[in-house]
Structure 1
Amino acid sequence: MNARISQILRLAIPSIISNITVPLLGLVDVGIVGHIGDAKYIGAIAVGTMLFNVIYWIFGFLRMGTGGMTSQAYGHRDFKEVIRLLIRTLTIGLVIGFLFIILQIPLIQFGLWVMKPDIGMLSLCWKYCLICIWGAPAVLAMYGLTGWYVGMQNTRVPMMASIGQNILNIISSLIFVFVFHMDISGVAIGTIIAQWGGLLFSLLLLHHSYKRLYKYFSWSGLFDYHALYHFFIVNRDIFIRTLFLVSVFLSFTSIGSRQGAIILAINTLLMEFFTIFSYFTDGLAYAGEALCGKYYGARNREAFREVVYHLFYLGFIVAIFFTVIYSFAGESFLSFLTTDTHVICVSKSYIGWTCLIPIVGVSAFLLDGIFVGITNTKGLLLSSVIAAFLFFIVYLLLRSQLHNHALWLAFLLYLAARGIVEFILFIRQPV
C-alpha cells in the first residue's frame, strides 16, 4: 500500500470509529427511557439531546481551530507552542462551559422556546437539561483536547475516549434508572458522568503519552495578547461559519416540518444517508487536517501535495462506494429504518437525491479538513456564506413549482457550492 495512503488511513479509521460512536450517547439515553413506559420521557430526551447538540456544534471551533494550529506547530517542531495551545484550548473550553452553567436558566429557557416541546413534557425537558448542563465544561474541554490530539497526528486516543465514554454512559445510566429508579434524572446523571469520565480518561492518556512535553511548558507567552488574538481570529471565522451551517440544517428540518408529518419523516430518514456518509468523509477530513497542517507548518510542499492528491483519491473511492450502495440498497435501508409503508412509498420519489449526496458533497468535506489544517479560516467562512445564501435563494425561487424537491435540490447545490468555492480558493492559495 502507498505510504501516504497508509498515513491517511492510520489517522482516518480511528476518527471514523469515533464519529460512529458519537450519536450513541443520545441513542443510549433514548433506548433506556424507552423502557420506562411513558412516551413523554422519549420526547424530553430527544428535545434535550437536540438542544445540546446544536449548542455544542456551534462551539465546534474549539476542536477545528486547535487541530489546525497544533498540526502546524507540530510540523514546525515548535513544542513550546504545542503545549501552549493545549493549555489555552483546555482553559477556554472550561471557561465557556462554566459560563454555560452560570447562565443555565436563560440559556435553557431560550433553547426550549426555540424547540417548542409539547407542554406535557416541558417539565421533563427542564429536569433533563438542568442536569446535563453540568457536563458542558467537560464536553467543550474535550473538543479542544480532541483537536489537539488530531494536530499531534493521534486519532487513537479520541477513539478510545469515545468508546470508553459510551460504555460508562450505558453502565451508569442503567444503574441510576433501573437500580435507583431515577427515571430521566438518572439518564441525565449517567450522561454527565460519561462526559466527565471521557475527559478524565483522555487527560490520563495525555499524561501517559505526552509527559515528555512538560519540559516545554512555560508561563511566558501562554496568554500573550497576540497569541490569544490569533487564536480567537481563527476560531471566530470557524464560529461564524458554523452558524451558517447550523442555519441551513435547522432550516432544512423546519421547512420539511411545514410540509406535513409525512414529508418531515421522509426528510429525517433520508438525511440519515447524508449522516452516515459524513462519518466516513469526516474521518478522511480529520486525517487531511492533521497531515496537511503538519506539512504546511514544516514547509514541505511535496509531502503536502502528495497528501492532498491521495486524500482526494481515497475520498472519491468512498464517494463512489456510497453512491453504488445508495443506488442499489437505498430502499432496503429505508425499510430497515421504518416499517411505515406509506412513508417508504412516498420517499421513493426523493431517494434519487440521496444517491447524489456522496459525489456532490465529498469535495466540501475534504477541503474543509485541508483548510482547517492550513488555518485558512476565511476561506471556510466565505464558502459557507456563499453556499448558505445559494441554498435559501434556490429554495425560495423553486419551492412553489418543486415543493420538497426544491429543498433537496437547494441542499445538494449548497454542498456543491461549498466544495467549488473552496477549490477555487485552494488553487489560489500559495503553499
Structure 2
Amino acid sequence: MSAGERPSLGRVWILAWPIILSNVTTPLLGMVDTAVVGHLPGPEHIGGVAIGALVFTSVFWLFSFLRMGTSGFAAQAAGAEDAPEIAAVLGRAILLAAGLGLILLALQAPIWWAARDLFDASAAVQTLAGEYFFVRIWCAPATLMNYALLGWFIGLQHTRVALLIQIWLNGVNIVLDLVFVVGLEMGVPGVAWATLAGEWSAAVLGLLVAGRMVRRRGAALNLPRILDIGRLKRFFRANVDIMIRTACLIFSFAFFTREAAQFGDLALAANAVLLQMVHMTAYGLDGFAFAAEALVGAAIGRRSHAALRGAVVASTIWAGIVAVAIALVYLAAGDLIIALMTDQEAVRATAGAYLPWVALYPVVAIWCFQLDGVFIGATQTADMRNAMLASLAIYMAAALTLPAMWGNHGLWAALTVLNLARGATLAALYPRVERRTAPAVSPGA
C-alpha cells in the first residue's frame, strides 16, 4: 500500500475474516472440553473443568493488554518501515509476557486459594478444579506470549498467520483431549494437560514464525534497543492504561451478573444465556476492530491522513454491515439460539423477554468496538483509559437506578448505557487521533 493510499473495503475484509474465523474456534474448544468430561461418571467432572477454566479466563482476560498494546506499536513501526523497531516491539512484548507468566506461576497458590473461596462449589468439584488449575497454570507464560504474538501478527497485518496458529493451538488441544481423557482415562487433569500442550506448542510455533519474519525484513532482536528506556516507558505506560480499561470492563460485566442474581435464579440463568449471545456478537465485530488497529497504526506510522481516514471509514462500514446482520439474526432466530443453549422452558421464556436488548447490542456496541480499535492502533491508550473510567461512572449511575424502576430490563438498559457511553466518550476524543496525521499548515496560509 502506497503512502497516501486509502485502505479499501476489500483490504479490510482480507484482514478481518481470519480473526472472525479464529474467534469461532474458541467456543468449539470449550464444547470439546465439556464433551469429553461430560461422558465421565458424575456431574462433578464438568463442574471441575468449568470452574477451573473460568478462573483462567478471568485471570488471562486481565492480561489481554499484551495483545492490544503490542498491535498498535507493531503497526506504527510497520507503517514507518522501521524494521529494527518491528523486531524490538516483538522483543519487548515477549519479555513482558514471559515475566508476567513467571509471576503468575510464583503466585499460583494464593490465586487458587482466592478462586476456591470465591466459588461455593461442592468438595468434589473443588478437588477436581484444583487438579485442573495446578496443571494448567504452567501454561501461563505460553498463553501470555501467545497474546503478544497475536498482537504483533495483527499489527503487521498477518492475520492469516494468526489464524493458522490459533487453529494449530485448538487442534492440538482437541486431539489431546481425546487422547488423554478418552484414550488414557486421565480425567479432568487430562483436559488441563491438553491445554498445556496446545498453548506451549503454539507459542513455540509463533516464535519460530515471528523470528523468520524478522529475518526477512533484514532485522534482528537487538537487546539495547529492546531495553531502550524511553521506548520501554512508553510501552509499559500503554499497557498499564489498557489493563486499567480492561479491569473496568471486567468489573462492569461482573457487576451486571451480581445484580442479576438479585432478581432470582431464573433471571440469573436467562441473563447467562443471553450473555453468551453478547459474546458471540463480539466474535463477529472483533475482526473489524482488529483490522482498524493494524490499518490505523500503519497510517500513523507513515503519517498519512488519507490512509487514516480510509482505515476508519472502511472498517466501520464493514462493522456496521455485520452489526446490522447480527441484530437481524437475533430478532429472527433469537428464540431458536436460546433453545439450543437450554432445554428449560422457564429459562427460555424468561430469556426471550429480554431478547430485544441483545438484538440492540450489536448496533449500539459497534461504535465502542471500532473506536477501541482506532485508539489501540494510534496507541492513545490514556484516552482509552479515561473514556472507560468516565463510562464506568455513567454505567454505575444507571445500574444503581434503572433496575429499581424496571427490574431486569433496567439492568439491560444500564449495559446499553455503558456501550453508548464508551462510544460517545471515545468519539469526543477522536479528533486527537486525526491531529496525529493532519497536514501541516504553513504560517502564511
Q: Determine whether 1:71 maps to 2:83.
A: no
TM-fit CA distance, 1:428? 4.2
Q: Which moved more, 1:106-115 or 1:402-411?
A: 106-115
CA change 1:70–1:215 in 2 (3 A) is closer
Partner of 2:442: none
* 2:327 maps to amino acid: T
CA change 1:399–1:190 in 2 (3 A) is same
Partner of 1:277: 281
Partner of 1:289: 293
User: Deviation string for 1:287-327 (max 9, x for gaps)?
Assistant: 00000000111101111101111112112111111121111
Partner of 1:156: 160
* 1:372 maps to amino acid: I
* 1:143 maps to amino acid: Y
Q: What secondary structure does 2:219 align onto?
A: helix
What TM-score, normalized to structure 2? 0.93
User: Deviation string for 1:78-105 (max 9, x for gaps)?
Assistant: 1111101111111111111111111110
Unaligned runs of 5+ in 2: 1-5, 437-445
Question: Map of 1:41-52 to 2, 5 A cutoff?
Answer: 41-52=45-56
Q: Distance in 1 between matches of 2:166 and 2:32?
A: 14
Pick from 396, 413, 420: which aligns with 1:416?
420
Q: Which moved more, 1:238-247 or 1:214-223?
A: 214-223
Partner of 2:137: 133
Q: Distance in 1 between matches of 2:192 and 2:31?
A: 13
Say whether the 8 Å CA contact 1:322–1:358 is kept in structure 2: yes
Q: Distance in 1 between matches of 2:236 and 2:61?
A: 17
Pick from 256, 261, 275: which aligns with 1:257?
261
TM-fit CA distance, 1:330? 1.2
TM-fit CA distance, 1:263? 0.9
Q: Determine whether 1:426 maps to 2:430.
A: yes
Q: Distance in 2 between matches of 1:391 and 1:403?
A: 16
Partner of 1:54: 58
TM-fit CA distance, 1:248? 0.6
Q: What secondary structure does 1:108 align onto?
A: helix
Question: Map of 1:7-46 to 2, 5 A cutoff?
Answer: 7-46=11-50
User: Deviation string for 1:49-92 (max 9, x for gaps)?
Assistant: 11101111100111100100110011011111110111111111
TM-fit CA distance, 1:208? 4.1
Question: Map of 1:156-175 to 2, 5 A cutoff?
Answer: 156-175=160-179
Say whether the 8 Å CA contact 1:25–1:191 is kept in structure 2: no
Q: Distance in 1 between matches of 2:362 and 2:308?
A: 25
Q: Which moved more, 1:218-227 or 1:231-240?
A: 218-227
Q: Distance in 2 between matches of 1:220 and 1:209?
A: 20
Say whether the 8 Å CA contact 1:75–1:297 is kept in structure 2: yes
What TM-score, normalized to structure 1? 0.96
Q: What secondary structure does 2:96 align onto?
A: helix
Q: Distance in 2 between matches of 1:205 and 1:374?
A: 26
Partner of 1:83: 87
Say whether the 8 Å CA contact 1:277–1:322 is kept in structure 2: yes
Partner of 2:203: 199
* 1:278 maps to amino acid: A
Q: Determine whether 1:240 maps to 2:244.
A: yes
User: Deviation string for 1:24-61 (max 9, x for gaps)?
Assistant: 33332211111112211111111111110111110011
Q: What secondary structure does 2:373 align onto?
A: helix
Partner of 1:354: 358
Question: Map of 1:377-416 to 2, 5 A cutoff?
Answer: 377-416=381-420
TM-fit CA distance, 1:367? 0.5
TM-fit CA distance, 1:357? 0.4
Q: Distance in 2 between matches of 1:125 and 1:334?
A: 28
TM-fit CA distance, 1:419? 0.6
Q: Determine whether 1:113 maps to 2:117.
A: yes
* 1:406 maps to amino acid: G
Q: Distance in 2 between matches of 1:351 and 1:340?
A: 16
Pick from 142, 146, 153: which aligns with 1:142?
146
Partner of 1:337: 341
Say whether the 8 Å CA contact 1:15–1:159 is kept in structure 2: yes
* 2:402 maps to amino acid: L
Q: Which moved more, 1:225-234 or 1:396-405?
A: 396-405
Q: Which moved more, 1:288-297 or 1:208-217?
A: 208-217
Q: What secondary structure does 1:55 align onto?
A: helix
Say whether the 8 Å CA contact 2:87–2:221 is kept in structure 1: yes
Q: Distance in 2 between matches of 1:334 and 1:222?
A: 49
Q: Which moved more, 1:83-92 or 1:249-258?
A: 249-258
How many residues end up aligned between the 2 structures?
Answer: 430
Partner of 1:222: 226
Q: Distance in 1 between matches of 2:104 and 2:262?
A: 32
TM-fit CA distance, 1:173? 1.6
Q: Distance in 1 between matches of 2:168 and 2:268?
A: 34
Q: Distance in 2 between matches of 1:50 and 1:126?
A: 12
TM-fit CA distance, 1:159? 0.6
Q: Distance in 1 between matches of 2:305 and 2:14?
A: 21
Q: Distance in 1 between matches of 2:214 and 2:85?
A: 14
* 2:59 maps to amino acid: I
Structure 1 vs Structure 2 CA RMSD: 1.5
Say whether the 8 Å CA contact 2:91–2:221 is kept in structure 1: no
User: Deviation string for 1:326-345 (max 9, x for gaps)?
Assistant: 11111121122222111112
Q: Distance in 2 between matches of 1:334 and 1:83?
A: 46
Identity %: 33
TM-fit CA distance, 1:251? 1.3
* 2:313 maps to amino acid: Y
* 1:360 maps to amino acid: V
* 1:88 maps to amino acid: R
Q: Which moved more, 1:33-42 or 1:345-354?
A: 345-354
* 2:39 maps to amino acid: H
Say whether the 8 Å CA contact 1:26–1:49 is kept in structure 2: no
Q: What secondary structure does 2:401 align onto?
A: helix
Q: Distance in 1 between matches of 2:149 and 2:218?
A: 16
Partner of 2:371: 367
Say whether the 8 Å CA contact 1:83–1:213 is kept in structure 2: no
* 2:90 maps to amino acid: L
Q: Which moved more, 1:19-28 or 1:335-344?
A: 19-28
* 1:305 maps to amino acid: R
CA change 1:145–1:3 in 2 (3 A) is closer
